[in-house]
Amino acid sequence: MFRTLASRLATSSSHVLRQTAVQKVQPLTFAPTRFMSDAVHESDEEYIKRFESFFNQPSLDGWDIRRGLTELSTDDGVPDPVIIISALKAIRRVNDYALAIRFLESCEFKTGPSHDKIWPYILQEITPTLKELSIETPAQLGYDKPELGLEDIHDM
């Protein structure tokens, strides 16, 4: 008795489920997608001028400078020395020495695998400004090596 009741219930429930599932299925339609942007491509000169004029504003506070540095660090390229100089001057105007060091570290990190070629050129270009603003590079402060780095016991 139980078997017949269970089999009837199973067939009727599967029939109901099939009907509701079939009724709710709707055909999928896809609209054609066009990948394009209406943004105007910015040339290198315009890019440099935009950031230089942003950092040269005398009314910038620490928050605005950090916003500009964040936008600069999210870009895919290494910043031009002109941009680095204007950013360092803006950072020094608000007297945030730690931010200047972190900014130099991020610029050095962005050089990537071409570090030996790009970073010496950037340092050569910004060294007079660093001396004028009394800012030392992370390497001069010893931040290029781990502070508590211990010698490997197997190399002793």
Delimit the domains of the chain by residue range.
44-141
Note the pLDDT of residue 155: 73
- Please state, in angstroms and rounded to a whole number, the distance separating the CA atoms of residues 25 and 39: 40
What is the assigned CATH class of domain 44-141?
A: mainly alpha
This prediction has a pTM of 0.70
Cα–Cα nearest to 143, from 100, 111, 112:
100
Cα–Cα nearest to 99, from 129, 67, 76, 122:
67
pLDDT in tens, 134-155: 999 999 998 887 777 777 778 7
Note the pLDDT of residue 37: 66
- Please state, in angstroms and rounded to a whole number, the distance separating the CA atoms of residues 72 and 107: 10
Could you list the pLDDT tens digit for every one of the 156 residues in the chain? 556 655 665 665 555 556 555 566 666 666 666 666 667 788 889 999 999 999 999 999 999 999 999 999 998 889 999 999 999 999 999 999 999 999 999 999 999 899 999 999 999 999 999 999 999 999 999 888 777 777 777 876
Task: Tell me which DSSP letter residue 149 carries.
Answer: P
